[in-house]
């Protein structure tokens, strides 16, 4: 049996599907969506699909591994500027979830509404856009009044993500530069910034406690994601405390409002 393959149609369908999956991933993770980077990554996925379809040179298990672990990781890392194994692995799982959600929606549309491929694809695009919008609204409402933000800290080429509580009562600042100071726990620094070249000492005073000093670290960069906006702070100052910041692990960083008030 012979099939007539239209490479341009295959490329377009795969690229569009990958673009929608990356959009859903951004809504699920709460990461800012970057259309141009997503389009470039989706185009690369389309080229890969055309290549392995026209030239089936890899065994099927190897092809699947390269597609999921290789192409998928490259797509998410490029689109969302991810660094570090844990961040990319998290994105890969979310991408798989987004693809499964889209596949289920496509099957539902074709089986229950008897839509041809073109209109099923159009409907899938509308579904993905609506699902992403609803996820964004849900994240905004559930986070309202809690101010839990995604924060990425970079140190010596490594990156770690933190869930930050935007604390209006945090008035810590570094006395020499006057920079506002965030706070993290030593427990959450293990394996990330345990060995530092130098420390700062930041004076503090809290209600009901004696005054003192906290050790502080100057990181290479901090990225703060608020949903609609992204802030990047060069050489942020972060104080380290011994005890965990939250008893239930609800947040792992205290972030001063001054960092996102501009």
Q: Is the model's pLDDT at 93 over the cut of 50?
A: yes
pLDDT above 70: percentage of residues in the chain: 87
Per-residue pLDDT at 206: 64
Q: Per-residue pLDDT averaged across 85-109, rounded? A: 84
pLDDT digits over 132-157, tens only?
A: 777 766 765 655 445 578 899 998 88
Q: Is the model's pLDDT at 130 over the cut of 60?
A: yes
Per-residue pLDDT at 244: 82
Q: Is the model's pLDDT at 211 over the cut of 80?
A: no
Q: Per-residue pLDDT averaged across 188-198, rounded? A: 75
Lowest mean pLDDT among 2-6, 217-221, 239-243, 248-252: 2-6
Q: Is the model's pLDDT at 117 over the cut of 80?
A: no
Rounded CA-CA distance 33/80 in Å is: 8
What percent of the chain is helix, strand and coil (3-state, nearest 5)?
50, 20, 30
Computed on alpha carbons and rounded to an integer, the radius of gyration of the chain in Å comes to 23
Q: Is the model's pLDDT at 218 over the cut of 80?
A: yes
The more confidently predicted of residues 111 and 215 is 215
pLDDT above 90: percentage of residues in the chain: 11
Query: Helix or strand or coil: residue 92?
Result: helix
Q: Per-residue pLDDT averaged across 215-225, rounded? A: 89
Per the prediction, the chain carries an average pLDDT of 81
Rounded CA-CA distance 80/39 in Å is: 12
Q: DSSP letter at 71?
A: I
pLDDT digits over 20-48, tens only?
A: 889 888 888 877 788 899 999 999 999 99
The answer to whether the beta carbons of residues 20 and 99 sit under 8 Å apart is no
pLDDT digits over 171-185, tens only?
A: 788 888 888 899 988
- Under 8 Å CB-to-CB from 254, ≥6 apart: which residues? 164, 165, 167, 170, 182, 183, 184, 245
The band of 70, judged by pLDDT with boundaries at 50, 70 and 90, is: confident
Rounded CA-CA distance 127/148 in Å is: 28
- Under 8 Å CB-to-CB from 40, ≥6 apart: which residues? 78
Per-residue pLDDT at 153: 92
The answer to whether the beta carbons of residues 158 and 164 sit under 8 Å apart is no
Q: Is the model's pLDDT at 71 over the cut of 80?
A: yes
- Under 8 Å CB-to-CB from 10, ≥6 apart: which residues? 46, 49, 50, 53
The band of 7, judged by pLDDT with boundaries at 50, 70 and 90, is: confident
The more confidently predicted of residues 4 and 54 is 54
Query: Helix or strand or coil: residue 212?
Result: strand
């Amino acid at each position: 049996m012979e099939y007539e393959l239209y490479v341009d149609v295959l490329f377009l369908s795969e690229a569009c599907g990958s673009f929608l999956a990356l959009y859903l991933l951004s809504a699920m993770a709460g990461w800012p969506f970057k259309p141009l980077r997503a389009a470039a990554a989706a185009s690369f996925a389309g080229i890969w699909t055309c290549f392995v379809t026209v030239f089936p040179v890899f065994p099927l298990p190897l092809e699947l591994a390269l597609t999921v672990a290789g192409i998928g990781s490259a797509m998410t890392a490029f689109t969302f500027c991810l660094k570090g194994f844990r961040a990319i692995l998290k994105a890969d799982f979310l991408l798989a979830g987004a693809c499964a959600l889209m596949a289920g929606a496509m099957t539902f549309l074709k089986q229950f509404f008897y839509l041809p491929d073109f209109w099923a694809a159009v409907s899938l695009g509308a579904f993905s856009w609506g699902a992403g919008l609803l996820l964004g609204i849900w994240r905004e409402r559930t986070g309202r009044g809690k101010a839990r933000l995604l924060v990425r800290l970079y140190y010596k080429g490594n990156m770690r993500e933190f869930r930050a509580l935007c604390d209006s009562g945090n008035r810590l600042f570094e006395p020499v530069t006057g920079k506002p100071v965030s706070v993290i726990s030593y427990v959450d620094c293990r394996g990330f910034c345990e060995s530092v070249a130098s420390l700062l000492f930041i004076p503090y005073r809290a209600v009901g406690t004696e005054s003192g000093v906290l050790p502080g670290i100057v990181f290479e960069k901090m990225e703060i994601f608020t949903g609609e906006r992204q802030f990047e702070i060069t050489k942020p100052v972060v104080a380290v405390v011994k005890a965990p910041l939250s008893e239930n692990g609800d947040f792992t960083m205290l972030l001063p409002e001054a960092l996102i008030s501009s």
